[in-house]
Amino acid sequence: MLITMELNGRRVSREVSPDTLLLDFVRAEGAFSVKRGCETSNCGLCTVFLNEHPVLSCSVLAARAEGRRVTTLEGLQKEAKELGAFIADQGAEQCGFCNPGFIMNTISLLREHPNPDEAEIRSYLAGNLCRCSGYEGQMRGIVAYLKWREEAGHSGE
Ligand code: FES
Ligand code: FES
């Protein structure tokens, strides 16, 4: 079947089998930030935005994205770079495999709730697993990023 979607602002069409996962579709189009982790909807590494809402691309068929907008970290360079720098500053990045999923979901959280407290951040990111760290570095990085945004007057953008 022919699937057409807008991937990171670019119209893409590809013949795929009906059971092709969105994860495989976007990676075949070069979106390698989308990681193949558990493939059982448990780790958050494969998060993409489907029409601006985060979904786990390992559990969504590519056909569901027909005619819709799909965004990966490659399409969110500015936000990803800024937030990623704060997380790296806290030494949270070890192997870095979980980072794209964390950043995607943090961006989504901040779009829904521009000024979350720590409990809200932990709750929203509970589905993002990291095999290397205790999550404290990521949390410090996100809190520092929020503080920077507030001081720079970027909150709520
Ligand atoms: S690979 Fe999709 S949730 Fe883990
Ligand atoms: S830093 Fe390695 S999985 Fe999170």
pLDDT exceeds 70 at position 89: yes
CB-CB contact of 62 with 21 (8 Å): yes
Using only the alpha carbons of the chain, give its radius of gyration.
16
How remote is the CA of residue 52 from the centroid of ligand 1, in Å? 18
- Who lines ligand 2 at CB under 6 A? 93-98, 130-133
Alpha carbon distance 139, 135 (integer Å): 6
Report the SS3 class of residue 123. Answer: helix
Ligand 1: residue whose CA is nearest its atom 3: 41
What confidence score (pLDDT) does residue 154 get?
Answer: 67
pTM tops 0.85: yes
Nearest CA to 58 out of 26, 33, 31, 21 is that of 21
CB-CB contact of 103 with 73 (8 Å): yes
- Who lines ligand 1 at CB under 6 A? 36-39, 41-46, 56, 58
The C-alpha angle with vertex 55 and arms to 52 and 61, in degrees rounded to 5, equals 110
* Bridge partners of residue 3, in order along the sequence: 14
pLDDT exceeds 80 at position 157: no
Q: Over range 13-42, report the average pLDDT.
A: 97
Q: Over range 22-45, report the average pLDDT.
A: 96
Report the SS3 class of residue 21. Answer: strand
How remote is the CA of residue 108 from the centroid of ligand 1, in Å? 17
Alpha carbon distance 11, 20 (integer Å): 18
Q: Which atom of ligand 2 is nearest to the CA of 93?
A: 1
What confidence score (pLDDT) does residue 23 get?
Answer: 98
